[in-house]
Amino acid sequence: MSKAFAAVGRVRKEVDKLSERVAAIEVAVNSGTKIAAEEFDVSAELLMRELLKLDGIEAEGEAKLQRKAEVGVVSIEVA
């Protein structure tokens, strides 16, 4: 189970970085700055990769709940 916690933690760390990237893009767009479509595509792709990593983590109990919560975070960022 500690492997599952560690795996979810690694994904969470990467998702946090990507969330900052998404927030920066959002701020830029809201201020009227043009953003290349590639920026959106790359960010979405990176988030989807993290979602796939989460999907591959086998977990039970609390680790499963943490994985599920992180899936929710990634899903919100992608949307």
- Domain spans of the chain, in order of start: 3-78
pLDDT of 18-65, one tens digit each?
999 999 999 999 999 999 999 999 999 999 999 999 999 999 999 999
Cα pseudo-dihedral 68, 72, 75, 76, rounded to 10: -170
pTM of the model: 0.87
Residue 66 zone, left/alpha/beta (φ > 0; ψ -120 to 50; rest): alpha
pLDDT score of 76: 86
Specify the CATH superfamily of domain 3-78.
Answer: BAG domain (1.20.58.120)
Query: Judging by beta carbons within 10 Å of its beta carbon (0-12, 13-18, 19+), is residue 74 exposed, middle or buried?
Result: buried
pLDDT score of 14: 96
- Name the DSSP class of 36: -
pLDDT score of 78: 78
